[in-house]
């Protein structure tokens, strides 16, 4: 039976994915500093084995034959995802992939070096090379998938989202935010004029911060028998569903950003930990995509962790671990601080979407050819001034050179961040409709209803449906910016 062959292949691929995931997490946490070269060699060889096995020509025949077999509904759905994975992995010729990998790696290395030097001119030719290849890639993916070129790129990260559907939603959000950011800043200014920000600036031993983070992780539902918290330079969520590795970094003089980071990664981790175990070796059993994943991390960080009700419960826990007795009036102005800036990864939840929309608009034009890399600094600066009133014309390192995504060739990824933020707000609203007392629960540290809703509507669905389908089934309607704008108005508005 051909489906059985696919099932067996799934087990082999899962083993290689397990090795790659643990080796990757280990590299950033426990590896000796001198172990990198051999680790890179080993991981490249394992990734090569994975790619060869996942793209073998006979798999096309197995999928074809399996489609004629008598399969359960579950197997049929699994088969559809096997086909999706196989198509996405094989639609580019090997020769092209190798050429593209070389160009991306060169551009990324150059970026690491030249961003620090603010050297746009030196960086431009490499970026032009990557963009030329991504245009080729988009055309080939479009052909294979029957999609528009930019949609075909997005399809890798976020199955089912189309520019035609998300553009109006993001436009609505943009229009709202251009008016709302000044309003939120005015509200904040007025409040801080009355009650100045009280610094949260004690010195807190890393071990105590770690214990606080672990206590919060466990309370919101991270399963510590199937995951752990370590330290790394850049926080991440890695590992495998049976052993999810999340990381943070600590400053003894600044506990809040580390703690919020832990909650963010906890959101990612709980999605992985709660995927259906019986499907773990099928593409069907994987998390749906980057937007859905980001909705889960932002759900825990923004909807739960920055929710004022959460701090009713959290402040005594903070006091127990850090020995500080703060009131909500002390901490919420820090938790909700709005501060427009040039750097996306440092942005608050109000201004963050404008960073993403800027990139979404520019990268569509870069892929279509309407915009060329040489014109990026001006185009970026114009939008930055329009959306946030800030200029990057003299600092390309804080403009089009600030992210690794484009040098790395990841076009079509950026929208996931803000789609995730909107999806999280819409999920929260759906949950609140079903459990109107959810904030009372949260204020008491009771997260069961929250977890049950997420398990039933998101985690258990894995890749059964496309991203927009899962959202519609979970919340009863299509993606709607109103939930996110309401959320912002309630938290930051007048």
Asked whether residue 226 is marked as a ligand-binding residue, the answer is no
Does residue 312 bind its own copies (CB under 8 A)? Answer: no
Position 226 contacts its own copies (CB under 8 A): yes
* C-beta closer to its own copies: residue 244 or 488: 244
* Contact region with its own copies (CB under 8 A), list: 35-43, 189-197, 282-290, 465-473: 35-43
Residue 242 binding its own copies, by CB under 8 A: yes
Separation CA 267–CA 65 (nearest Å): 39
Q: Does 482 bind its own copies (CB under 8 A)?
A: no
The answer to the question of residue 23 lying near its own copies (CB under 8 A) is yes
Specify the stretch interacting with its own copies by CB under 8 A; choose among 29-37, 198-206, 249-257, 402-410.
Answer: 29-37
In the range 280-309, which residues lie near its own copies by CB under 8 A?
280
- Letters for 262-281 (x = contact with its own copies by CB under 8 A, - = none) are ------------------x-
201 binds its own copies (CB under 8 A): no
By CB under 8 A, residue 341 contacts its own copies:
no
- Span of 12-20, 72-80, 149-157, 247-255 interacting with its own copies by CB under 8 A: 12-20
Indicate whether 35 belongs to the interface with its own copies (CB under 8 A). yes
* Shortest CB 13 distance to its own copies, Å: 9
Are 421 and 353 in contact by the 8 Å Cβ rule? The answer is yes
Residue number, 17 or 361, with CB nearest to its own copies:
17
Span interacting with its own copies, options 34-42, 288-296, 358-366, 483-491, rule CB under 8 A = 34-42
Active site residue 349: no
From the list 37, 73, 95, 490, which residue makes contact with its own copies (rule: CB under 8 A)? 37
Are the beta carbons of 416 and 291 closer than 8 angstroms? yes
Min separation Cβ 215 and its own copies, Å: 17
Our finding on whether 41 is near its own copies (CB under 8 A) is yes
The single residue among 34, 146, 196, 436 that binds its own copies, judged by CB under 8 A, is: 34
Binding region for its own copies (CB under 8 A) out of 24-32, 100-108, 300-308, 329-337: 24-32
**Out of 1, 4, 38, 182, the residue judged to bind its own copies by CB under 8 A:** 38
**Which one of the listed residues 17, 81, 155, 265 is annotated catalytic?**
265
Q: What is the dihedral of CA 133, 96, 403, 398, to 10 degrees?
A: -40
- Part of the chain binding its own copies (CB under 8 A), chosen from 241-249, 372-380, 440-448, 480-488: 241-249
Judged by CB, which is closer to its own copies: 50, or 83? 50
In whole angstroms, the minimum distance from the beta carbon of 191 to its own copies comes to: 43
CB of 98 to its own copies, least distance (A): 17
Nearer to its own copies, 14 or 74 (CB): 14
Least Cβ distance, residue 44 to its own copies (angstroms): 8
Give the Cα separation of 478 and 483 in Å (integer).
11
Helix/strand/coil (H/E/C) assignment for every residue in the chain: CHHHHHHHHHHHHHHHHHHHHHHHHHHHHCCCHHHHHHHHHHHHHHHHHHHHHHCCHHHHHHHHHHCCCCCCHHHHHHHHHHHHHHHHHHCCCHHHHHHHHHHHHHHHHHHHHHHHCCCHHHHHHHHHHHHHHHHHHHHHHHHHHCCCHHHHHHHHHCCCCCHHHHHHHHHHHHHHHHHHHHHHHHHHHHHHHHCCCCCCCCCCCHHHHHHHHHHHHHHHCCCHHHEEEEECCCCCEEEECCEEEEEECCECCECHHHHHHHHHHHHHHHHHHCCCHHHCCCHHHCCCCHHHHHHHHHHHHHHHHCCHHHHHHHHHHHHHHHCCCCCHHHHHHHHCCCCCCCCHHHCCCCCHHHHHHHHHHHHHHHHHCCCCHHHHHHHHHHHHHHHHCCCCCCCHHHCCCCCCCCCCCCCCCCHHHHHHHHHHHHHHHHHHHHCCCHHHHHHCCCCHHHHHHHHHHCHHHCCCCCHHHHHHHHHCCCCCHHHHHHHHHHHHCC
Maximum distance among all Cα pairs of the chain, rounded to whole angstroms: 73
Other Cβ atoms closer than 10 A to 219 = 15
Pick the closer one to its own copies by CB: 11 or 478.
11
Q: Does 190 show up as a binding residue in the annotation?
A: no
Residue set of the binding site for Zn(2+): 264, 268, 294
Q: Which residues sit at the interface with its own copies, rule CB under 8 A?
A: 11-12, 14-16, 18-19, 22-23, 26, 29-35, 37-39, 41-46, 49, 223-228, 230, 240-244, 280
**Residues taking part in catalysis:** 265
């Amino acid at each position: 039976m051909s489906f059985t062959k696919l099932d067996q292949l799934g087990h082999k691929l899962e083993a290689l994915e397990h090795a790659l995931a643990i080796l990757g997490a280990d590299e950033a946490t426990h590896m000796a500093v001198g172990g990198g070269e051999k680790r890179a060699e080993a991981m490249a060889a394992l990734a090569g084995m994975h790619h060869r096995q996942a793209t073998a020509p006979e798999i096309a025949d197995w999928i074809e034959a399996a489609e004629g077999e008598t399969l359960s509904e579950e197997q049929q759905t699994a088969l559809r995802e096997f086909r999706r994975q196989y198509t996405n992995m094989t639609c580019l010729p090997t020769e092209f992939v190798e050429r593209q990998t070389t160009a991306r790696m060169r551009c990324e290395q150059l970026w690491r070096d030249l961003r620090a030097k603010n050297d746009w001119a030196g960086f431009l030719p490499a970026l032009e090379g990557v963009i030329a290849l991504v245009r080729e890639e988009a055309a080939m993916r479009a052909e294979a998938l029957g999609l528009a070129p930019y949609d075909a790129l997005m399809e890798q990260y976020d199955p089912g989202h189309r520019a035609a559907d998300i553009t109006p939603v993001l436009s609505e959000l943009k229009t709202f935010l251009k008016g709302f950011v000044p309003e939120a800043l005015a509200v904040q200014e007025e409040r801080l004029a009355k009650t100045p920000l009280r610094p949260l600036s004690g010195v807190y031993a890393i071990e105590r911060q770690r214990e606080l983070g672990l206590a919060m992780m466990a309370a919101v539902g991270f399963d510590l028998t199937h995951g752990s918290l370590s330290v790394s330079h850049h926080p991440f969520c890695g590992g495998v569903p049976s052993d999810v590795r999340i990381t943070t970094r600590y400053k003894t003089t600044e506990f809040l950003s580390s703690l919020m980071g832990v909650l963010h990664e906890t959101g990612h981790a709980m999605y992985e930990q709660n995927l259906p175990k019986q499907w773990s070796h099928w593409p069907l059993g994987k998390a749906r995509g980057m937007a859905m994943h980001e909705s889960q991390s932002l759900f825990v960080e923004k909807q739960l962790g920055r929710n004022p009700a959460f701090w009713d419960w959290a402040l005594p826990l903070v006091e127990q671990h850090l020995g500080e007795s703060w009131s909500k009036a002390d901490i919420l102005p820090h938790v909700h601080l709005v501060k427009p800036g040039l750097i996306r990864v440092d942005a608050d939840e109000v201004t963050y979407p404008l960073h993403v929309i800027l990139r979404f608009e520019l990268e569509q034009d870069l892929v279509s050819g309407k915009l060329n890399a040489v014109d990026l600094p001006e185009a970026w600066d114009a939008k930055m001034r329009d959306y946030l009133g800030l200029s990057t014309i003299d600092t390309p390192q804080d403009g089009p050179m600030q992210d690794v995504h484009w040098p790395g060739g990841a076009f079509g990824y950026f929208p996931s961040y803000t789609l995730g933020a909107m999806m999280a707000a819409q999920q929260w609203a759906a949950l609140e409709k079903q459990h109107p007392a959810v904030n009372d629960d949260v204020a008491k540290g009771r997260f069961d209803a929250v977890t049950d809703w997420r398990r039933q509507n998101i985690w258990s669905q894995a890749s059964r449906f496309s991203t927009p389908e899962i959202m519609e089934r979970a919340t009863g309607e299509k993606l709607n910016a109103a939930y996110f704008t309401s959320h912002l108005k309630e938290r930051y508005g007048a």
